[in-house]
Amino acid sequence: MRIIAGEFKGRTIKAPKGDGTRPTTDRVRESLMSAVNSACGGFEGATVLDAFAGSGALGLEALSRGAACAHFFERDGAAQRVLCGNVRALGLE
């Protein structure tokens, strides 16, 4: 998986292994980001909630596009570890 646009465009992020999570495809993420961008005028300064975060792809994408803050909620321990690794890899601790 990769970040589609913004500051971290092209950077790779990891997804949790196994069938407990299903990563959001690039196409779906781009459609969602486009819809939010149109409805809200962009992500600059926004606070974003990534519920059932898995890898954190949606929240990380929003941060890459200018969101000020993202809150990630994930109850699966393995997914939490992957998510924390992705946050660290992008230097967003």
* Encoded tokens for 11: 């950077």
Domain boundaries, the chain: 1-93
Cα(24)–Cα(88) distance, integer angstroms: 20
In degrees, rounded to 5, the angle at the alpha carbon of residue 19 between the alpha carbons of residues 15 and 20 is 80
Say what the pTM is: 0.92
Task: Quick: pLDDT tens for 73-93.
Answer: 999 999 999 999 999 999 998
| CATH no. for 1-93 | 3.40.50.150
- Mean pLDDT score, 3-29: 90
